[in-house]
Amino acid sequence: MIKAGIIGSTGYAGAELVRILLRHPEAEIVWYGSRSYVGKEYAEIYGSYFKIVDSVCLDDNLDELANEADVIFTATPQGFCASKMTEELLRKTKVIDLSADYRIKDPKRYEEWYGIHHETPEFLQEAVYGLPELNREKIRTARLIANPGCFPTCSILTVLPAVKRGLIDQDTLIIDAKSGTTGAGRGAKVQNLYCEVNETVKAYGVTVHRHTPEIEDQIACISGHPSVVQFTPHLIPMNRGIFATVYASLKPGVTEEDFRKAYEEEYKDETFVRVLGDGRIPETRWVKGSNYADVGFKIDQRTGRAVMMGAIDNIVKGAAGQAVQNMNLLFGLPEDSGLRMVPESV
């Protein structure tokens, strides 16, 4: 059995890791880490685990945890993992970091967008960006995984085939994305109170959202060319889910059949990416509670643009599910182990 420790187990992504790992056939949780709830029973914080989890929350001592766990998940705020990372830690265990600390290779770029100093830039080049559909073979041999952000996961999977095959002008990419409120985390914030988010839709982080450089960097990796994207996220009154609508100008002569072939070929062997056909449009409810990403597209010959659409559950494929998918690759397990959750239908 893989012994797994979770730092930040009481946040939304951490709690989702608990839910997935408890049903994983080859893993067991040995550490429920939570700085805010040390000494409290986990089931006191999440009543759904009453008589299921009888463990108490421990602290965030990574050095001690590394002696007990084969893999550590850090579902923590930006800066925590980078402040704790050492060569000795990585000799003892593998780390899957759900924050942004190792997603952006340029420490100055990270510091510019996140506003904090990166304490261990020496590990940036080693860390593998953990999007399995893009870096599967690199993930298998990694010690440190930078689990992708939720918006970048949805956005990149939505456009990957079109960018990879040069069907669009990547410099015209406009990403309009909507997220449920769990994307903002479990911390108490006035702007996330029920009365502040219910019955309204609002854009936030306009032109300055921190996932922008992550998306740009990965688009550049896919195409081999520097990329600039216009990314605008919106908060909508639902608990979980992300829907991305991505616009881009078509390259001359590109047809809908070219798009269909590109998407079907790219994702034909991917368990967790479903290409919708017959003009169907993704919906967040069809991926809720699952590790699936649904993608679709429409070609607008009138405007010469492609309209690409994707939907994921932000705390499964956008966080915890993808982290477990990475864990499966790291330990040579079937990629879908513990992740065959059927999407909720209502």
* Catalytic residue (one of 57, 81, 150, 154): 150
DSSP 91-156: HH-EEEE-SSTTT-S-HHHHHHHH-S--S-GGGTTTPEE--HHHHHHHHHT-SEEEPPPHHHHHHH
User: Active site includes 154?
Assistant: no
CB neighbour class for 241 (10 Å; exposed up to 12, middle 13-18, buried from 19): buried
Edge-first strand order for the sheet with 293-300 is: 202-203, 230-235, 174-179, 242-249, 305-312, 293-300, 273-275
Percent of the chain that is helix, strand, coil (3-state, to 5): 35, 20, 40
* Cβ neighbours around 331 below 10 Å, total: 15
Coil, helix or strand at residue 291: coil
Q: What is the DSSP letter of 167?
A: -
Coil, helix or strand at residue 184: helix
Q: What are phi and psi of 77, to 5 degrees?
A: -60, 160
Calpha distance 295→90 (Å, rounded): 36
State the residue for tokens 């306009």.
206
DSSP 199-226: T--EE-STTT-TTHHHHHHHHHHHHSS-
Residues forming the active site: 150
